[in-house]
Amino acid sequence: MLGSVRSRLIETLAGRADEIPAWITALGDGDDEGFFGPGSASWTVHGGMPTLVAGVRALLLQALHPGALAGVRDFSRYREDPLGRLAGTIRWIHTVTFGSREQAIAGSQMVRSMHTRVAGTYRDGHGALRPYAANDPELASWVHLAFTDSFLAAHLRWGAPIPGGGDAYVAEWATAGELMGVEDPPRSMTQLRAQLEAFTDAGELRGGPDVDEIVRFIRRPPLSRMLRPSYPVLFRAAVSTLTPAHRELLGFHSAPVGRMLPLDFATGAVLKGAGALLGNTTQAELAARRRLSRLAGDPARD
């Protein structure tokens, strides 16, 4: 039974469960140490189980920008292949976090190249018709902010201490933003909050029927039957970490404010169980450590 649950969880996150994907194995073959490393804030956050909450939260938050939502609605195959889209996002995150600099740059360029065809028009938060393109600095900035804020919020709530604290994570992950064409990504928690609030204050975000539709999908994604019992806990955990303003736009009018001990306990139990199934060190990190050992001339650890 546990083996079946583990297989379904790995398949959901990596796209397949029968073998380690080739792109993960390749992270051991790079020729430099990468942008980060062991003991970094990024390794700590992206290697932890709270990423399961963070991913859900990031999708919800990103949907509040009508330009970002239009790109998902018009071009993404999230309904036909939601797990494939998830696996692709995880691949980029882990490549930038654990890969060599060359691999991180190449992986980001590949994503940006795919985004060149994502363009169209949308109604902005003020009702005006505007053009959008996935690589536009404004949209790239919003996606980066939503990602950074979500992974940080989830880890601060349920993860281990971050080396250097939240400011170190925001500063490090600004590198990923720059690789994706973000202009002036935040480099501290204060800057992160200010840039998020600027989108809200400018009226760039909105709810509505399109947002409601994608929220319904995120609330009940087509997961394996074995994974469904634990997912509502992760979803509620993600919602609980959003700001009141963002919850209101997403339609969660009665969502909890602040910590709720029963929810925190349940979420911690689900994340602990996931760690027991997956192992508390990701395959991407293990591959990165093999690369670092090889570059350091430690054949015993190759």
Asked if the structure places residue 51 within a domain, the reply is yes
Asked if the structure places residue 109 within a domain, the reply is yes
Does the pLDDT at position 275 exceed 90?
A: no
Asked if the structure places residue 153 within a domain, the reply is yes
| Count of domains forming the chain | 1
Nearest-angstrom CA–CA distance, 212 and 51: 23
pLDDT digits (tens, 9 = 90+) for 115-140: 787 788 888 777 888 887 777 888 89
Work out the pLDDT band at 285, boundaries 50, 70, 90.
Answer: very high
Structure tokens at 94: 């882990």
Does the pLDDT at position 82 exceed 70?
A: no
pLDDT digits (tens, 9 = 90+) for 1-57: 444 554 555 555 555 555 688 899 999 998 999 999 999 999 999 999 999 999 999
Asked if the structure places residue 20 within a domain, the reply is no
pLDDT > 70: percent of the chain: 85
Asked if the structure places residue 63 within a domain, the reply is yes
pLDDT > 90: percent of the chain: 59
Contact 286, 27 (CB under 8 A): no
Domain of 261?
A: 35-277
Mean pLDDT of the chain: 86
Q: Which residues pair with 123 in a beta bridge?
A: 129
Does the pLDDT at position 260 exceed 70?
A: no
Asked if the structure places residue 134 within a domain, the reply is yes
Mean pLDDT of 143-156: 97
Asked if the structure places residue 298 within a domain, the reply is no
pLDDT digits (tens, 9 = 90+) for 176-230: 999 999 999 999 999 999 999 999 988 889 999 989 999 998 999 887 787 788 8
The confidence score (pLDDT) of residue 9 equals 52
Asked if the structure places residue 291 within a domain, the reply is no
